[in-house]
Amino acid sequence: MRKVTSKEAAKSFGRFQDMALVEPVAIQKYGRDSVVMISAREYERLRKRDRMALAVEDLSESDIQAISETDMDPRHAGLDELLD
């Protein structure tokens, strides 16, 4: 990952924008990474992999009921041993 100061990024934005199409560009402020510039294609790829986690309190009664009635795939039965 290429790292540049915010001053460099402002001065040569187009250059670093082109660079971000090939590799992430970290823009630093006060010597620390502040933001990372990536291509739109890479952003969409990462966004598709993003998953949202909910707290149990956020689930409806019907969601909780549906979860409690599900069965784990038998191929993963060995995972039960990890819970003991």
Domain membership flag for residue 83 = no
Report the number of distinct structural domains present in the chain.
1
1, 20 contact by CB (below 8 A): no
Domain membership flag for residue 47 = yes
- Residue 43 belongs to domain with CATH number: 3.40.1620.10
Three-class HEC string of the chain: CEEEEHHHHHHCHHHHHHHHCCCCEEEEECCEEEEEECCHHHHHHHHHHCCCCCCHHHCCHHHHHHHHCCCCCHHHHHHHHHHC
Domain membership flag for residue 26 = yes
pLDDT of residue 33: 96
Domain membership flag for residue 80 = no
9 lies in which domain range? Answer: 2-71
Domain membership flag for residue 11 = yes
Domain membership flag for residue 46 = yes
| Per-position pLDDT tens, the chain of length 84 | 999 999 999 999 999 999 999 999 999 999 999 999 999 999 999 998 887 788 888 899 999 999 899 988 888 888 888 876
43, 61 contact by CB (below 8 A): no
Domain membership flag for residue 79 = no
